[in-house]
Copies of this chain bind each other. A is one copy, B any other.
């Protein structure tokens, strides 16, 4: 606490992008509800007035942060919805694309996944996430009826477990660490679709 940079006055010392990135890190560490504008100003080493130069307040930073994650995930969902490939392939693309967005936008997706619905911004983010869940469940249902996915797990449960795996990655994945994004997406898809058990033909 003693080594904080002195508060700069006058012209803000950050562009909006950097300000957003640092604010999102603070939200992820302390929780959005537990973070005040004073906390943000202290961490950024600027005055609250300098933050207000860029954004209307704390909730706008939340809105911009979760939008980064949601826009990426929505682009994946749109590509998948527009494809005419069989449902099982589209579901794999949805999973793979979601893992890629998660890795590329890790702090923003982490923020999104911790949103609890206390503000209008949070409720709207949750509604957009639910739309993505519904797409997954529809694809599972179609893939089961195509005979490509096993019929003995309820599609809604499958959808939950599927995104459970994908989302759990934010808890441990380190970008730039030993596992690349591609290897991670492969591991997730292989485990989900083919299982961890060694295929019988290769034993």
Residue total for A at the interface (Cβ-Cβ under 8 A): 42
- Check A199 for interface membership: any CB of B closer than 8 A: yes
A187 and B157 contacting across the interface, CB-CB below 8 Å: yes
A149 CA / B167 CA spacing, docked (Å): 23
Residues of B within 8 A of A190 (CB): 150, 152-153
Q: How many copies does the complex hold?
A: 2
> Do A198 and B147 contact each other (CB < 8 Å), given the known contacts A31-B33, A164-B171?
yes
Q: Does A182 contact B (CB under 8 A)?
A: no
* Contacts known (A33-B31, A34-B34, A164-B169); A196 close to B192, Cβ less than 8 A: yes
A158 within 8 A of B: yes
Min C-beta distance of A110 to chain B, whole Å: 13
Residues of B within 8 A of A154 (CB): 179, 187
The verdict on A195 contacting B192 (CB below 8 Å), with A31-B34, A160-B172, A161-B187 known, is yes
Is there contact, CB below 8 Å, between B151 and A160? no
CB within 8 Å for A179 and B157 given contacts A34-B33, A197-B194 = yes
List, in ascending order, chain B residues with CB within 8 A of A34's CB: 31, 33-34
Output the nearest chain B residue to A202 by Cβ-Cβ distance. B150
Question: CB within 8 A of A195: which of B30, B168, B194?
Answer: B194
**List of 4 A-B pairs having minimum Cβ-Cβ separation, nearest first:** A164-B168, A195-B195, A194-B195, A153-B187
List 18 other contacts, CB 8 Å, given A154-B179, A157-B179, A164-B165.
A30-B33, A31-B34, A33-B34, A88-B197, A148-B197, A149-B197, A150-B194, A150-B196, A150-B199, A152-B190, A160-B169, A161-B168, A161-B188, A161-B191, A162-B196, A191-B192, A192-B195, A193-B195
